[in-house]
Amino acid sequence: MKYLVPAFILLSACSSVQSSAIRTGPSRAANAGPVSLTAMELPIGATQVGIVVVRGRGTIEELAPLFKQRVAELGGNRGLIDRISTRYDSQTTWVNEMYPCGFRMQTTCTRVVPRLDEYSTLEMSGRAFLIGPTP
């Protein structure tokens, strides 16, 4: 049991999706109802309750539920996506490679070669709003 908590923290730190939410309005309870997302205009009377950023190695369909969750945690019921951007990075890793070698007798040799891995990181940033009567 004493190794369970450090292992959980370590695995959580290696997650490929990260998010942050900053409250910009008065403190309110989390929204337990439905949350909708839009990239268009909001109705008149919408109250901004926070700013949300979600980023990770995934698609919009994979990141949108986390964006909604963070909006709900701030007490909002509508998320306005202000920006979606993609950053491309590359990382070099060294891998062992086996290949046939030998002159008179066929043997297998190994060598270490660089491998370039390219990956994209998607980022959704926007604001959380409360539409309707404020409690």
More confident residue, 73 or 42: 73
- Tokens 């046939």 identify what position? 100
Q: For position 133, what pLDDT does the model report? A: 67
Mean pLDDT (the chain, rounded): 85
Percent of the chain with pLDDT over 90: 60
More confident residue, 27 or 22: 22
pLDDT in tens, 78-134: 999 999 999 999 999 999 999 888 778 888 899 999 999 998 999 999 999 998 865
CA distance 124 to 114: 32
* Residue 13: HSE in the Cβ half-sphere, 13 Å Cα cutoff: 6
Joined together, the tokens standing for residue 104 give 């008179």
Q: For position 79, what pLDDT does the model report? A: 95
Please say if the pLDDT value at position 5 is more than 80.
no
Residue 123 near residue 62, CB atoms below 8 Å: no
CB neighbour list of residue 49: distance below 8 Å, 6 or more residues apart: 23, 24, 25, 26, 28, 74, 75, 76, 128, 129, 130
Q: β-strands 78-101, 36-38: how paired? A: parallel
Q: What is the pTM of this model?
A: 0.71
Closest by CA position to 76, among listed 42, 108, 110: 42
